[in-house]
Structure 1
Amino acid sequence: MLIGTLFALAAGLMWGLVFVAPTLLPDYPATLLSFGRYLAFGVIALPMLWLDRRRMAQFTRSDWIEAAKLSLVGNVLYYLCLSAAIQRAGGPLPTMIIGTLPVVIAICSNLRDAERDGRLPWLRLAPSLGLIALGIGCVNQSELQQLRADPAADLGRYATGALLAIAAVACWTWYPMRNADWLRHHSDRSPRSWATAQGIATLPMAVLGFAGVWIWNSATAQPFAMPLGPTPGLFLGLMLAIGLFASWLGTLCWNEASQRLPTTLVGQLIVFETLSALAYAFLLRGQWPAPATLLGIVLLVAGVAWALRVRPEPVEAVEAHAG
């Protein structure tokens, strides 16, 4: 439990970086940010493929197809929706919506994976879910008040951002459950090799996507300077950093956690990503969080701590107890 939780914490710290790039690169289209990140991920995975070639040779055709599905939904589509949401609605609204992932995944997994992982009794799970949801609401309260008070706010743009953030939640509700299925059914396989496989599977998608953005910009005479944009050094540095830490290392740590912990519990530990994203946002602003935000962080941490105390029980035991 402890080792799995530490791996989930490390993944959250690195995944929080993905919220930084759209803020630091507001002039870059979300498509370029998404394909640039995963192009870097795929390139970083190539030497890992060579170093781990013996284990990688164990993967079958069906394994590579599964890696491609996970990469398309959990990598490319998720970050495309998230980047576009942040650029359209700003940081607070997407962070609030993405922050519901611990609750959404815990509920979906408790309904779906009870036979395999055991069921967390709803009455014992409810306090942790409630604390996490309440904490997310507190964290975003002051930010959302500022949005409502802004007379120049484009409500249509914010609504589009909200819908894109909801689509990102859908992608990342499906991804960890499907990824955990493969890891639990292949417990003899290395989580590091599986992370590398997803990077390799992402590479051709990222190459085609990046080329498609370049061709589209050229065909429509867009003023954006392809291929690296107006600040190439910052773009390259961020893409490489996110590709290494958030994509490869983050996926590795998440795979390690997924092999050790029930999917229901792992889903709640995604709250570490929300906490990290908020911490990085306030560091970029150079200011301390408001009292409501601090209260929200305390509630989030309390919710996670509560969740770690709840142990899955066999379905029969839960049903007998409920009866």
Structure 2
Amino acid sequence: MLFGLLFALAAGLMWGLVFVAPVMLPGYAPALLTVGRYLAFGLIALPLALMLDRRVLRELHAADWWEAAKLSLVGNFLYYLCLSAAIQRAGAPLPTMIIGTLPVVIAICANHRNRVRDGHLPWGKLAPSLALIAAGLSFVNHDELAVLRSGAGDLRRYAEGAALAVLAVACWTWYPIRNADWLRAHADRSPRAWATAQGLVTGPMALIGLVLLGLVHLAAPGALIPTGYTFPLGDRPLAYLGLMAAIGLCSSWLGTLCWNEASQRLPTSLSGQLIVFETLAALAYAFMWNQRTPPPATLAGVALLIAGVMWALRIKPVKHTA
């Protein structure tokens, strides 16, 4: 349990870096950041596969590679595509609030679906933890809630953005549950090698995405990439390449590795709640980058999130028979 918690914390610290990348590279479209990140993930996975995990990867069957491809397609590309499109349609506040429900949604789905394998966390004991996390997310996103209450914006675009954000939540609810299924069913396999395998199948997908982006940019300038953008590296090529390499290594490979380690050790209903570490890390990095002090509402939200996680860690799973 302790090592699972620490690995989930490390994954959150790695994944939080992704949320400051758009702030650090404001002139780069979300689609470019997405394909850049996952192309770097694929390129980084190649030498790691040759040096560290060649033997284990050879033992994977075709079904395992197909599972890695599905996880990468849904949990990486489709998720970020939906999230980026949602932000473009509705702005950041609404999608941020909807994505913020992930820890609660995953915990609820996994607690029912995996009750036989992982044990059942009694709903009466789990409810206070989920309530604390939900309240913490609402405090953390206080500014976003204020924007939504103002009613500003096009209702149709808001509805389209909300639908895309809900689809993004569905993608990343499916991903950790299915990923944990594979890891728990293959407890003898290396979580590191499984992270590398996902990187190997992600690289070609990212390359295809980059080619498609280039074609769209030529056919319809301004549709997905800002007009005047120097494709593919933009006007800050060294900053773009360096940041994509750092995120590809830390957020994609190392973050996936740590999450895999946590998923092998913890019930999925609990590990789902620990995604709040990603929210906390993203907040901390954003405030450090902007050299700002968190407002009282944000600090209160952080305290509630931590309290919710600590409450969940005290719950003992109850054995459940089919």
The equivalent of 2:123 in structure 1 is 122
Which one of 311, 314, 319 corresponds to residue 319 of structure 2? 314
Tell me how far apart the structure 2 counterparts of residues 164 and 298 of structure 1 sit (CA, whole Å). 30
Q: Is the 8 A contact 1:282 1:288 kept in 2?
A: yes
Alignment gaps of 5+ in structure 1: none
Tell me the secondary structure at the aligned position of residue 315 of structure 1. coil
Between the aligned residues of both structures, percent identity stands at 66
Tell me the secondary structure at the aligned position of residue 135 of structure 2. helix
Tell me how far apart the structure 1 counterparts of residues 174 and 150 of structure 2 sit (CA, whole Å). 35
Tell me how far apart the structure 1 counterparts of residues 102 and 158 of structure 2 sit (CA, whole Å). 20
The equivalent of 1:162 in structure 2 is 162
Shift of 1:95: 3.0
- Do residues 54 (structure 1) and 55 (structure 2) align? yes
How far does the alpha carbon of each residue in 1:252-291 deviate from its partner, in whole angstroms, 9 at most, with x for none? 0000000001111100100101111111222233211221
The equivalent of 2:243 in structure 1 is 238
- Do residues 18 (structure 1) and 18 (structure 2) align? yes
Q: Is the 8 A contact 2:93 2:147 kept in 1?
A: no
Tell me how far apart the structure 1 counterparts of residues 23 and 135 of structure 2 sit (CA, whole Å). 26
Q: Quick one: which amino acid aligns to residue 33 of structure 1?
A: L
Shift of 1:27: 3.3
- TM-score of the superposed pair, with normalisation by structure 2: 0.92
Q: Quick one: which amino acid aligns to residue 210 of structure 1?
A: L
Q: Quick one: which amino acid aligns to residue 178 of structure 1?
A: R
Shift of 1:210: 0.5
Could you say what the CA RMSD is over the residues aligned between the two structures, in angstroms?
Answer: 1.9
Shift of 1:148: 4.5
The equivalent of 1:226 in structure 2 is 231
The equivalent of 2:97 in structure 1 is 96
Deviates most, 272-281 or 126-135:
272-281
Tell me how far apart the structure 2 counterparts of residues 24 and 157 of structure 1 sit (CA, whole Å). 27
Q: Is the 8 A contact 2:15 2:278 kept in 1?
A: yes
The equivalent of 2:35 in structure 1 is 35
Alignment gaps of 5+ in structure 2: none
Shift of 1:76: 1.1
- TM-score of the superposed pair, with normalisation by structure 1: 0.92
Residues 150/112 of structure 1: CA separation in 2 closer, same or farther (3 Å cut): closer
The equivalent of 2:178 in structure 1 is 178
Tell me how far apart the structure 2 counterparts of residues 157 and 280 of structure 1 sit (CA, whole Å). 29
Q: Is the 8 A contact 2:139 2:298 kept in 1?
A: yes
Residues 76/179 of structure 1: CA separation in 2 closer, same or farther (3 Å cut): same
Q: Quick one: which amino acid aligns to residue 214 of structure 2?
A: W
Tell me how far apart the structure 2 counterparts of residues 198 and 171 of structure 1 sit (CA, whole Å). 16
Q: Is the 8 A contact 1:22 1:87 kept in 2?
A: no
How far does the alpha carbon of each residue in 1:43-64 deviate from its partner, in whole angstroms, 9 at most, with x for none? 0000011012111111111100
The equivalent of 2:4 in structure 1 is 4
Residues 277/116 of structure 1: CA separation in 2 closer, same or farther (3 Å cut): same
- Do residues 281 (structure 1) and 286 (structure 2) align? yes
Q: Is the 8 A contact 2:136 2:301 kept in 1?
A: yes
Tell me how far apart the structure 1 counterparts of residues 106 and 164 of structure 2 sit (CA, whole Å). 18
- Do residues 131 (structure 1) and 136 (structure 2) align? no
Shift of 1:143: 3.4
Which one of 242, 247, 251 corresponds to residue 252 of structure 2? 247
The equivalent of 1:265 in structure 2 is 270
Residues 294/54 of structure 1: CA separation in 2 closer, same or farther (3 Å cut): same
How far does the alpha carbon of each residue in 1:193-228 deviate from its partner, in whole angstroms, 9 at most, with x for none? 000000001111111110111122123345332111
The equivalent of 1:200 in structure 2 is 200
